[in-house]
């Protein structure tokens, strides 16, 4: 029997592509919000004994996690065989250390909660820094769908002679493989963060690549201040054609406007989170990751 696909994401283009690729049937789920902020769920599809695939967009997670957990409880109650979660963006992974007195590693606690509610997890490029593998914090099978190949293909089609730039040392894990597949050079920026909105930038060796197109790559753009600072630095150094690429388009408040006004010629993202900047499709990578968990 085909798996049953339930979409909580609102990312209709991506979810339709994934559902088609994995051969799932579309389930009928109706969610209604009440004025007091509560919701009701009406699951019309028969789920007994079936494998259920839930796709959800977990950007701005606090308002989306509870409906997800309630749905999983309904599915358990109705004897679904298994629950597989596709969450292209996985939140809370940046909270992987006790940065200040009294704080906690919320990434670990979030993973524990998810592991209690679903049986398998597929995500795209989770922010892994101090945590090196999702299996270090999740107690369920997980799969990481890498966006690298689709990003490389986009660059090949749209950018002549790129030099790949990472916004900080942490980003080397993303930019080095991309540069390697392109057989192009890469640089890593150094940033001094004085606050969430105050970042100074230096890129050693940039002057050696005057004939190249700078392509700045990161996994997440949230406030956009770091990326904007890099765009302004590149413009100051005489690069008028710089491109910014990110996997996850969080874009808090006016972050996207900030980037488009910071001298980047293009701002490009994958379609893990719906946004007007989505130009890189990762449905194939997600579908392959799904197949790796179910076969």
Q: What is the pLDDT along the chain (295 residues), one digit of tens a residue?
A: 999 999 999 899 999 999 999 999 999 999 999 999 899 999 999 999 999 999 999 999 999 999 999 999 999 999 999 999 999 999 988 766 556 777 677 889 999 999 999 999 999 998 776 667 898 899 999 999 999 999 999 999 999 999 999 998 888 888 999 999 999 999 999 877 666 556 678 899 999 999 999 999 999 999 998 899 999 999 999 999 999 999 999 999 999 998 988 789 999 999 999 999 999 999 999 999 999 999 8
What does the alpha-carbon distance between residue 283 and residue 293 come to, in Å, rounded to a whole number?
Answer: 16
Q: Give pLDDT, residue 197.
A: 58
Q: Cα dist. 266→23, 159, 242, 251 in Å?
A: 35, 11, 7, 15
Closest listed residue to residue 67, CA positions, set 83, 54, 78, 80: 54
Cβ-Cβ contacts under 8 Å for 55 (sequence gap 6 or more): 5, 6, 7, 8, 9, 11, 14, 15, 18, 85, 86, 87, 88
Q: Cα dist. 151→117, 139, 268 in Å?
A: 32, 30, 10
What does the alpha-carbon distance between residue 5 and residue 145 come to, in Å, rounded to a whole number?
Answer: 19
154 plus 65 within the same structural domain: no
68 plus 105 within the same structural domain: yes
Kindly state whether residue 26 falls inside one of the protein's structural domains.
Answer: yes
Kindly state whether residue 276 falls inside one of the protein's structural domains.
Answer: no
Q: Give pLDDT, residue 128.
A: 72
Q: Give pLDDT, residue 122.
A: 98
Kindly state whether residue 51 falls inside one of the protein's structural domains.
Answer: yes
pTM passes above 0.85 = yes
Kindly state whether residue 244 falls inside one of the protein's structural domains.
Answer: yes
Please give the radius of gyration of the chain, using alpha carbons only, rounded to the nearest integer: 20
Please give the residue range of the domain that contains residue 209.
Answer: 148-271
11 plus 141 within the same structural domain: yes
Cβ-Cβ contacts under 8 Å for 141 (sequence gap 6 or more): 119, 120, 121, 293
Number of domains into which the chain is organized: 2
Q: Give pLDDT, residue 107.
A: 86
């Amino acid at each position: 029997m085909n798996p049953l696909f339930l979409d909580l994401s609102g990312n209709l283009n991506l979810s339709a592509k994934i559902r088609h690729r994995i051969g799932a049937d579309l389930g009928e789920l109706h969610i209604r919000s009440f004025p007091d902020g509560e919701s009701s769920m009406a699951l019309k599809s028969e789920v007994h004994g079936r494998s259920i695939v839930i796709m959800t967009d977990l950007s701005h997670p606090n308002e989306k996690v509870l409906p997800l957990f309630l749905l999983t409880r309904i599915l358990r109650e109705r004897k679904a065989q298994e629950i597989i979660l596709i969450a292209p963006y996985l939140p809370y992974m940046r909270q992987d250390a006790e940065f200040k007195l009294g704080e906690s590693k919320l990434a670990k606690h979030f993973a524990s909660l998810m592991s209690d509610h679903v049986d398998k997890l597929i995500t795209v490029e989770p922010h892994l820094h101090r945590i090196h593998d999702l299996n270090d914090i999740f107690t369920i099978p997980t799969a990481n769908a890498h966006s690298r190949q689709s990003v490389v293909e986009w660059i090949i089609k749209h950018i002549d002679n790129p030099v790949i730039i990472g916004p900080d040392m942490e980003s080397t894990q993303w930019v080095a493989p991309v540069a390697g597949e392109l057989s192009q050079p890469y640089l890593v920026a150094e940033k001094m963060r004085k606050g969430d909105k105050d970042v100074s930038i230096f890129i050693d060796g940039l002057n050696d690549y005057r004939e190249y197109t700078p392509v700045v790559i990161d996994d997440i753009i949230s406030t956009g201040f770091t990326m904007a600072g890099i765009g302004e630095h590149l413009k100051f150094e005489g690069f008028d054609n710089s491109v910014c690429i990110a996997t996850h388009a969080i874009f808090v408040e006016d972050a996207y406007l900030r980037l488009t006004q910071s001298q980047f010629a293009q701002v490009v993202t994958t379609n893990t989170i719906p946004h007007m900047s989505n130009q890189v499709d990762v449905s194939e990578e997600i579908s392959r990751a799904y197949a790796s968990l179910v076969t």
